[in-house]
Amino acid sequence: MRASDIAGTQRRAIHSRRIGMYACLILLAVISFMPFYMMIVNATRSTADIVSGFSLLPGGNLAQNFKEMQSRVDVLNAFRNSFIIAASTTVLSCYFSALTAYGFVAYDFRFKNGLFTLLLVTMMIPGQLSIIGFYKMVKGMNMLNSYWPLILPSIATAATVFFIKQYAEGAISRSAIESARIDGAGEFKIFNRIGLPVLSPAIFTMGITGFIASWNNYMMPLILLSDPKKFTLPLIIRMLNADSQDRSVGGMYLAIAVSIVPIMIVFFIFSRYIIDGVNAGGDKG
Amino acid sequence: MQQAVDRSEKVKKGKVKAVRKRRSKLNKNHYGYYFIAPFFIVFLIFGLYPILYTLYLSFTQYDGFADPTFIGTANYLRVFQDPQFYAALQNTIVMWVMGVIPQFVFAFLLSAVFSYNRIKGKGILRALYYLPRLVTAVSISALFNQFLSYPSGLINQVLMQFGWVKEPINFLSNPLFTQGSVGLIHWWMFYGNTMILVMAGMTAISSSLYEAARIDGANSWHIFWKITMPLLKPITLYVFLNSLIGGLQSFDVQQILTGGQGAPQGKLMTVVMYLYNTAFQYNNYGYSAAIAYYLFAFIALASSVVFISRLRGKGHRA
């Protein structure tokens, strides 16, 4: 009897410990998600409502907020600008990173290891070291307010090359390449026909991560773009945030939501791939 | 007999040579250079050249309009004695520490919870913890700016509603509170990311080690400190260095939260903000470039101190 009592208490103790643990985990999830939820709620409420009190339920003022937002700055245009830059950056960085990774895996050439080490070293250089020189260089080329200086550097994305190369080492078969050669295919054709499809899972993972990184990029557009028509979403948000006169709070929340919600959707569809990409970063350590 | 073998050996060698010759026609190894060339060319133009150009500018007086004039090491000597620079460095470090401590505590606790227990809904929880990391720091800062705003921001409304305060609080005018908020925002943004990295390390630890320890009568507490933590040292070092390097360059949150001026009382001015303002508001590009190199030296020094102390620690244990 006593033994079963003790077992019962223990079970209860373990049970309540589990409940406590789940409560903490869920609370933390709420803390992580609540700001986004409040953002979406407030994006649908009128400025007067937002200022007079908080609510957990959405309101019906979305259309009005949208009008207010667009009348102050063209957020949709910024959305399009951000998308153009992020999409071009992603395509370039994926294609050329795969090309570079394939080059390192499919061929043996002199200084191969040295060059790869050099590539890894470039990953460790802090970004702030180049901004002044980058600005002066772009200014000298008369390319301020152009998207090219934001897009072209993505051809050399060392982290993406590193990730795809790790994958390529297990995935690229030299005998398949060899037989394609005997059939008379050129080297770049072999890459496009055999290399790219085989590497596509790794390219996809890095593509999502790269798209989000470019979408969120702030420092470079801030330095290079001064024409409000060319502004990306982070620059628009900065402008709205700094403008403290006659503000439509609902419109402000909506503008922030416009910059965040697409990323949330991408994340909830592809979270597995994104977290895989993060994990791969950890394997370096 | 012997000769016959020799001859057949020779024939074989000849065949091998012929094959090799044929292969060399198929040897396309030099194509490797063509494949990796775009990366290195673009890196030279958009990566290395600006870095060297910054180095050159750091030895000049340059206002963005007239040509740079060479002034030697004057900019560097000025950084050494610039109280604003040291104040910014101090702020940067204080805010990094405020964010990084809770970030690591939560990352390790959560990883341990997820690794030692079978948790239902692990995938969705992990995703939710990670989500803030993916969002632009600018948008997050603007959002928190709304939440913290005075007098009718969300946080003041909640505090008043529950009767916890009588008067709304002007959070962003209090230096300590504002620095704490930046730390909190950084914690909120990054603990999920740190957790995923630590967890990757934890799942790599063989479960037979835990089982053996359990058989020897160790409890979860002992297992965590005696097995998990020591084996996680390499990944902890990696994550810590990453956080340090990122933290010393922090810019976005502070800039948005304070409208670029580091208010209140300059306590939110970070080194990179100071660098940015020096160049793009006060048009002193040469001095700004020197600050960039000074910060780089500081980051390199801090990283190598962490790295070397880690290597030393290894030597002692071995």
- Which pLDDT tens digit goes with each residue over B237-273? 888 988 998 999 999 999 998 877 777 878 899 999 9
Q: How confident is the model at residue B1 (pLDDT cuts 50, 70, 90)?
A: very low
Does A196 score more than 60 pLDDT? yes
Count Cβ atoms within 10 A of the Cβ of residue A246 and give its class: 0-12 exposed, 13-18 middle, 19 or more buried: exposed
The pLDDT of residue B208 is 85
Contacts of residue A274, defined as CB under 8 A and 6 or more positions apart, other chains included, come to A205, A208, A209, A212, A267, B130, B134
The pLDDT of residue B26 is 62
Average pLDDT over residues A273-283: 67
The candidate with the shortest Cα–Cα distance to A158, out of A127, A190, A133, is: A127
The pLDDT of residue B25 is 56
Asked if A101 and B43 touch (Cβ cutoff 8 Å), the reply is no
Does A281 score more than 70 pLDDT? no
Nearest Cα of chain B lies from the Cα of A193 at a distance, in angstroms, of 15
Q: What angle do CA A264, A269, A273 make, to 5 degrees?
A: 105
Q: What angle do CA B45, B48, B50 make, to 5 degrees?
A: 75
Q: Which residue reads 């063209």 in tokens?
A: A74
- Which pLDDT tens digit goes with each residue over A43-86? 999 888 888 888 888 888 899 999 988 888 899 999 999 999 99
Q: How confident is the model at residue A283 (pLDDT cuts 50, 70, 90)?
A: very low
A127 part of contact set with chain B, CB < 8 Å: yes
Q: State how far the Cα of B145 lies from the Cα of B142, in Å rounded to an integer.
A: 5
Question: What are the distances in angstroms from CA A210 to CA A65, A214, B129, B245, B277?
Answer: 31, 6, 20, 20, 28
CATH number for region A74-242: 1.10.3720.10
Strands (E), A207-284: none
The pLDDT of residue B131 is 92
Does B21 score more than 50 pLDDT? no
Q: Compare B165 and B190 and report the one with higher pLDDT.
A: B190
Nearest Cα of chain B lies from the Cα of A2 at a distance, in angstroms, of 24
Contacts of residue A61, defined as CB under 8 A and 6 or more positions apart, other chains included, come to A44, A45, A46, A49, A250
The candidate with the shortest Cα–Cα distance to B64, out of A259, A140, A157, A265, is: A140
Nearest Cα of chain A lies from the Cα of B76 at a distance, in angstroms, of 15
- Which pLDDT tens digit goes with each residue over A159-177? 999 999 999 999 998 899 9
Q: State how far the Cα of A107 lies from the Cα of B9, in Å rounded to an integer.
A: 31
- Which pLDDT tens digit goes with each residue over A95-119? 999 999 999 999 999 999 999 999 9
One-letter-per-residue 3-state SS of A106-151: HCCCCCHHHHHHHHHHHHCCCHHHCHHHHHHHHHHCCCCCCCHHHH
Q: State how far the Cα of A139 lies from the Cα of A145, in Å rounded to an integer.
A: 9
On chain A, the residues whose CB falls within 8 A of the CB of B238 are 282, 284-285
Contacts of residue A73, defined as CB under 8 A and 6 or more positions apart, other chains included, come to A228, A236, A239, A240, A255
Q: State how far the Cα of A208 lies from the Cα of B29, in Å rounded to an integer.
A: 32
Asked if A221 and A150 touch (Cβ cutoff 8 Å), the reply is yes
For B6, the token pair is 């020799």
Does B102 score more than 50 pLDDT? yes
**Average pLDDT of chain B to the nearest whole number:** 85
Domain boundaries, chain A: 2-63, 74-242
The candidate with the shortest Cα–Cα distance to A270, out of B139, B215, B278, B123, is: B123
Asked if A108 and B29 touch (Cβ cutoff 8 Å), the reply is yes
B40 part of contact set with chain A, CB < 8 Å: yes
B125: nearest CB among A25, A112, A182: A25
The pLDDT of residue A280 is 62
Where do the domains of chain B lie, and which CATH numbers do they carry?
2-57 (no CATH), 82-317 (1.10.3720.10)
Residue of B138, B148, B191, B278 for testing the chain A interface, max A β-carbons within 10 Å:
B138
The pLDDT of residue A284 is 39
Range scoring the smallest mean pLDDT among A18-27, B10-19, B106-115, B302-311 = B10-19
Does B174 score more than 90 pLDDT? no
Q: Compare B308 and A285 and report the one with higher pLDDT.
A: B308
Dihedral angle computed from the Cα positions of residues B127, B132, B133 and B139, in that order, rounded to the nearest 10 degrees: 150
On chain B, the residues whose CB falls within 8 A of the CB of A106 are 32, 35
How much of chain B is helix, strand and coil, in % rounded to 5? 75, 0, 20
